[in-house]
Amino acid sequence: MGAYFSELAGKTVIVTGGSKGIGRDIARTFAELGANVVISGRNQQALDDALRELHGYNPSCIAVAGDLSEVAEVRRLIDTAADTFGTVDVLVNNAGVNIAKPAMDVTESDWDTVLDLNLKSAFFASQAAAKYMLAQKSGRIINIASQMAFVGYIKRAAYCSSKGGMVQMTKALAVEWAKDGVKVNAVAPTFIETELTAKMFEDEAFKKDVENRILLDGLARPKDISGAVLYLASDLANFVTGETIKVDGGWTAI
């Protein structure tokens, strides 16, 4: 083996929700290694800003705007990546949303919004990417799940359901596609310190509760998640499939 991760140069890597937070850091990590990164998101301005950063590492990177709760938009994203670069090598299903409400207040619309983006879009993106991966007998699908797939928490009934489903979906797809060289894994983060969670942690009681449940100091940072994703995408994880790596600072160890 040569330099670690050098095999990722020139690979086609799709990162959904790649314009902000964890997704943006994941996309940048791959771009730094010379991968052709395709990011998606709904906010064109955020996509343009993220793409400018990616172009600093690899001018071939592209952005595709769209609402991934719509299956047609999911398929358009994957096909655009394949048409542009000729292959789909890595798919990172990162796009997600939470609507924080007590379970008794969750509406049908709330439920559908969370499940459609967090779980349905990940399945159909995986299905669309697998069309290319199965044909080329290789590929990596990495789902960004959550520690909430393994534990419960207040105001997250729909979110926990979506992420628990994602972990089981990861196993099911791994079993079905292993014979064709497609490896499917997941990363399950704890709460991450990003600009997107800053407002959430203005609630001091909530922040203290979260910090008390994490055994390591402080909150996770985006690069902590990117490191796990990079490992699963690389040759270092050639014999890993159907696995979920928890990056939760020990939350679920108790």
pLDDT in tens, 226-251: 999 999 999 999 999 999 999 999 99
How confident is the model at residue 129, as a pLDDT?
98
pLDDT over 70 (residue 1): no
How confident is the model at residue 198, as a pLDDT?
82
pLDDT over 70 (residue 42): yes
Q: Is residue 253 part of a domain?
A: no
Q: What is the CATH number of the domain that holds 138?
A: 3.40.50.720
Q: How many CA atoms lie within 13 A of 3 on its CB side?
A: 4
Q: Is residue 33 part of a domain?
A: yes
Measured torsion, CA atoms of residues 96, 193, 187, 173, in degrees rounded to the nearest 10? 0
Distance CA 55, CA 38 (A): 11
3-state secondary structure of 35: coil
Residue 65: strand pairing partners: 41
Measured torsion, CA atoms of residues 241, 233, 216, 199, in degrees rounded to the nearest 10? -110
CA pseudo-torsion sign 206, 208, 209, 211: positive
pLDDT over 80 (residue 170): yes
Least confident of 158-172, 175-189, 194-208: 194-208
pLDDT over 70 (residue 2): no
Over residues 117-150, the pLDDT tens digits come to: 999 999 999 999 999 999 999 999 999 999 999 9
Mean pLDDT score, 86-90: 98
Distance CA 197, CA 189 (A): 13
**Number of domains the chain contains:** 1
Check: CB of residue 16 under 8 Å from CB of residue 23. Answer: yes
Q: Is residue 1 part of a domain?
A: no
3-state secondary structure of 68: coil
- Helix (H) or strand (E) holding 141, with range, is strand 139-144
Other beta carbons within 10 angstroms of residue 20's beta carbon come to 19
Residue 188: strand pairing partners: 246
Q: Is residue 2 part of a domain?
A: no
Q: Is residue 188 part of a domain?
A: yes
pLDDT cut 90: percent of the chain above it: 93
Q: Is residue 187 part of a domain?
A: yes
Specify burial of residue 96 (Cβ count, 10 A radius: 0-12, 13-18, 19+): buried
Instruction: Tell me the catalytic residues.
Output: 159
Domain that holds residue 126: 8-244
Mean pLDDT score, 18-38: 97
How confident is the model at residue 79, as a pLDDT?
98
